């Protein structure tokens, strides 16, 4: 039978555990909140740096010694357009959340464009880079597509994903897969033909400007990429067709 003194000690022990746990929770929670707030600016800066790096990577080969911020500031002109291809004054491209815009109807989206200026003539652009966003097998996929000055031929792509299968669908982030898009054509006459990743892998599509060799074991991720590109090429259709006539003169 438990004595009063033993019962008191048990209650004190339980109280101590509760108070100690509460104190640890408060201290740790406060430390994490402080770290989150104090590092927020640095985290945002890193996200912004990665965005610029990915945009540049679709048009030029970056070296470790390259100053991404300096190149971007000199060579990239940011604009935002609507579905009709009209520039939206007072809206900054970096303020556009592509994930949120993706949830809207295509006709209602704000669409960033990153024009890569000529090194010899800053009144002209050699390339135009556009963001793309969609859904793969397990989660969201996204990236950038760069066009050559004809605004029809793909210069390069940069894809990322949230949760595709390692070694299969996750290969969309590899240079091996991304280089297959270079030189492909978006338009077939006035119609969007898009660029379509095929089922299976190992076939030669060098003579077909609309087909890209696929990824073995990742058919559904490939379909996700195809749907993403078709969706956003349609969104940018009016911008691309308007500016094809003036060869990206600014």
Which sequence spans correspond to the domains of the chain? 1-57, 76-244
pLDDT of residue 175: 95
pLDDT digits (tens, 9 = 90+) for 157-215: 999 999 999 999 999 999 999 999 999 999 988 888 889 999 999 999 999 999 999 99
Under-50 pLDDT residues of the chain: 2, 6, 8, 10-11, 250
Inter-residue contact 60 to 158 (CB < 8 Å): no
DSSP helix/strand/coil, 39: helix
For residues 164 and 169, what is the distance between their CA atoms, to the nearest angstrom? 5
pLDDT of residue 194: 80
DSSP helix/strand/coil, 246: coil
Residue with tokens 């090194």: 119
pLDDT of residue 10: 46
Alpha helices (H) in 118-236, listed in sequence order: 175-178, 219-235
The burial class, CB within 10 Å (0-12 / 13-18 / 19+), for 174 is exposed
Cα–Cα distance list, 226 to 55, 119, 196 (Å): 20, 33, 6
């Amino acid at each position: 039978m438990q004595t009063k003194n033993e019962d008191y000690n048990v209650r004190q022990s339980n109280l101590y555990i509760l108070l100690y746990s509460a104190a640890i929770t408060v201290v740790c929670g406060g430390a994490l909140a402080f770290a989150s707030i104090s590092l927020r600016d640095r985290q945002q800066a890193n996200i912004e740096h990665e965005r610029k790096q990915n945009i540049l990577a679709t048009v030029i080969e970056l070296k470790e010694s390259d100053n991404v911020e300096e190149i971007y500031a000199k060579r990239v002109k940011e604009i935002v357009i609507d579905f009709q291809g009209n520039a939206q004054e007072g809206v900054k491209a970096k303020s556009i959340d592509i994930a949120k815009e993706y949830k809207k109807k295509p006709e209602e989206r704000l669409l960033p464009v990153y024009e890569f200026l000529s090194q010899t003539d800053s009144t002209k652009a050699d390339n135009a880079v556009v963001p793309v966003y969609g859904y793969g097998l397990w989660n969201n996929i996204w990236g950038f597509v760069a066009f050559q000055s004809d605004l029809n031929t793909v210069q390069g792509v940069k894809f990322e994903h949230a949760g595709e299968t390692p070694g299969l669908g996750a290969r969309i982030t590899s240079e091996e897969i991304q280089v297959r898009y270079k030189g492909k054509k978006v338009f077939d006459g006035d119609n969007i033909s898009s660029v379509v990743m095929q089922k299976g892998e190992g076939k030669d599509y060098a003579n077909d400007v609309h087909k890209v060799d696929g990824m073995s074991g990742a058919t559904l991720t490939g379909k996700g990429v195809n749907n993403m590109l078709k969706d956003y090429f349609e969104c940018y259709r009016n911008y691309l067709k308007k500016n094809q006539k003036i060869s990206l003169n600014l």
